Structure 1
Amino acid sequence: MSTNALYTDLSGYYDLMCCDINYQQQSNSIVRLHQFLGNSGKQHLDLACGTGPHVRHFIDLGFQSSGLDINQPMLDIAMRRCPEAQFSLQNMTEFYVDQKLDLITCFLYSIHYSPGTEALKACIASVHKALNTGGLFCFNTVDKHKINNKASVRHSAEFAGSQFVFESGWHYQGEGEMQSLNVSIAKTDADKTQQWQDSHAMVATSFTELEALLSPYFEVQIFEHDYDKIIPWDLASGNALFVCTKREIE
C-alpha cells in the first residue's frame, strides 16, 4: 500500500495513532524559542500539519496560525478542529504563501518526507522565501548515522470498541540519501484483526549535512530533543531540534 493510501484510508484514526504525543508541550516549547530567537511576530504556518493539533494550540497561544498538508482527508479534519485557521493542500517541498510569516514549524520528523536531498533543498528555500525578517523555522529530525534499525516505538489504544496497536521504527541501510519509516497498525474487533503495514520512503541526512544545507539561508542552532527544557545538543544523541533564524540574502 502506498504512503498516501495508508494515510488516506486511516486518516480518521490518525489522532488515535498519535494519542501519546503532547502537542501542547511541543507548541509551548517552540513559542518560547520564538520569543528568544525569533522576531516575536504572530504569523505561523505548520508544514505537514496533518489533522491540525499543533495549529489548534498555536491559535490558543495567540498566533494567527495556518497549515498545509498533501492529504485532503487530514485537512478536512484539521478544518473542523480549527475553523478559524487557513489550510491549503500543498507539498511542503515547494509551497507558496500569500502573506509573509514569522514562524514556520514542522513537527513529528515530517521534514524527512522530502523525497530526496534536492526536494529538501527546495523545501528549505521555500521556507526562507516565506519568512519575514528574523523569522524562525523549527523542526525535529533524526541523524541517519544514529539510527538503530532494530529499535521501534509501540503503543496501544482503544476506540469505538476496537483495540489498536501501532508500531513504527526508522531504518537506514547505511548509505545513500534515503531512509524509511516502517509503520504497522493492527485493529482488532472481537476475534477479527485487520493489519496495515507500510514503508515510508524519507530523506536521510546527518546533522552535519543538514546544517550545511540550511546555513546559506539561516543562522542554525541545534538543541536537544527535549520540549521541557532548552538545552544545546550534546553532540551525541541522534534526535535533535533545529531552530533556524532567517538570514537576509543579498
Structure 2
Amino acid sequence: MSHNAIYTDLSGYYDLMCADIDYPAQSQCVQRIHQLFGNGGKRHLDLACGTGPHVRHFLDAGFQSSGLDINQPMLDLAQQRCPEASFSQQDMCAFSATQSLDLITCFLYSIHYSGSIERLRACIASVHAALADGGVFCFNAVDKSQIDNSSFVSHSVRQQDATFWFSTGWFYAGEGEQQRLRLRIERTDAQGTQLWKDEHPMVAVTFGQLLELLEPYFEVQLLELDYQRLVPWNGTSGNALVVAVKR
C-alpha cells in the first residue's frame, strides 16, 4: 500500500487502531496547559484531527472546537462524531483559519506528517498566523536521535467476529531529515488472516532543531510526555510535549 493508504482505504479501522489511546487524559492535560499558559480563549483547532476524538472532548469541555485533516474519509467520520463542529480538508503545512484561534493542537505525533524541514517550517508559520495573541500551540514530538528502530507498540481489539492486531514503530536510518512510521494491521476471523503493512514518511528532527524552528515565533516549553502530570522535560527522553505560546 502507498503511504497514507491506511488512512483512506482503511479509515473505518482507524478508531480500532487507536483503541488504546487515552483521549480524555490527553485532552484534559492540554486543557490544563492552556489554562496555565494560554490567553483564556476557547477557539480551538485540532490539526490532523483524524476521526475527531480529541475534538469531541474539547467540545464537551466548552471549547469552540474545529478540525482539519488531509483525508476526507477521516473527516466524514469526524463530522458524524462531532456534528456541531466544523471540519475542513486542508494540508496542515499550508492552512488558513476563518477566525483567530486561541489553541491549536496536534496530537499523536502527527506534526511529523509535515514530512520535511521546510514543510514543518511552513506548518509552524501557518499556526503562528492563525493564533491570536497569547495563543498556544501544543503537540507531541519524537527526537530522531533517540529512536529505537526495534521498538514497536502493539495492541489487539475484538470487533464482531474478527480480532485485529495493530503494531506501530518508528524507523530512522541515522541521517537526514526523514524517518518512517511503520504500521501493521492483522485481521483474523473464521475465513483466515489478512495482513496490511504501510510506511509513512515523516519529518525527522532533534528537539534542538525543533526549538530553532519554533523560537522565532513562540515562547517554548518542553514537558515530559506525561498526560497525568505536568513536569519539565528531563533533557534525555526521546518524547516530549511541546508548549509554544505566540509571541
TM-score bracket, normalised by the shorter chain, equals: over 0.9
Q: Deviations over 1:152-190 (max 9, x none)?
A: 001100112111000010010110000000000011111
Cα distance in 1 for partners of 2:54, 2:6 equals 22
2:21 matches 1:21:
yes
Runs of 4 or more, structure 1, over 3 Å off, are: none
* Per-residue deviation, residues 30-67 of structure 1 (Å, max 9, x unmatched): 00000000101000000000000000000000000000
Say which is worse superposed, 50-59 or 6-15, in terms of deviation.
Answer: 6-15
Superposition deviation, residue 4 in structure 1: 2.5
Q: How far has the Cα of 1:3 moved from its partner?
A: 2.0
Aligned to 1:229: 229
Structure 1, unmatched stretches of 5+, are none
In structure 2, what is the equivalent of residue 75 of structure 1? 75
1:40 counterpart SS class: coil
Aligned residue in 2 for 1:90: 90
Cα distance, 1:15 vs structure 2: 0.4
Q: Are the aligned partners of 2:4 and 2:200 in contact in 1 as well (CA < 8 Å)?
A: no
Give me the TM-score of the superposition, normalised by structure 1: 0.98
**Aligned partner of residue 212 in structure 1, secondary structure:** helix
Distance 1:115 1:147 in 2: 17
SS of the residue 2:4 aligns to: helix
Q: 2:104 matched to which residue of 1? A: 104
Partner SS state of residue 150, structure 1: coil
| 1:149 lines up with 2:113 in the alignment | no
CA distance, structure 2, for counterparts of residue 213 and residue 7 of structure 1: 28
What is the CA distance between 1:6 and its match in structure 2? 1.9
Distance 2:205 2:116 in 1: 10
Q: How far, CA to CA, are the matches of 1:105 and 1:82 in structure 2?
A: 17
Shift of 1:191: 4.2
Amino acid at match of 1:246: K
Q: What's the counterpart of residue 175 of structure 1?
A: 175
Partner of 2:206: 206
Separation in structure 2 between the aligned mates of residue 57 and residue 168 of structure 1, nearest angstrom: 25
How many angstroms does 1:7 deviate by?
1.2
Aligned to 2:241: 241
Identity of aligned residues (%): 63
SS of equivalent to 2:150: coil
Q: Which residue is 2:44 aligned to?
A: 44
Task: Find the residue that maps to 2:5 and give its secondary structure.
Answer: helix
Q: CA deviation at 1:2?
A: 1.3
The gaps in structure 2 that reach 5 residues or longer are none
Which residue number corresponds to residue 158 of structure 1? 158
- How far residue 9 of structure 1 moved from its aligned partner, in angstroms, is 1.2
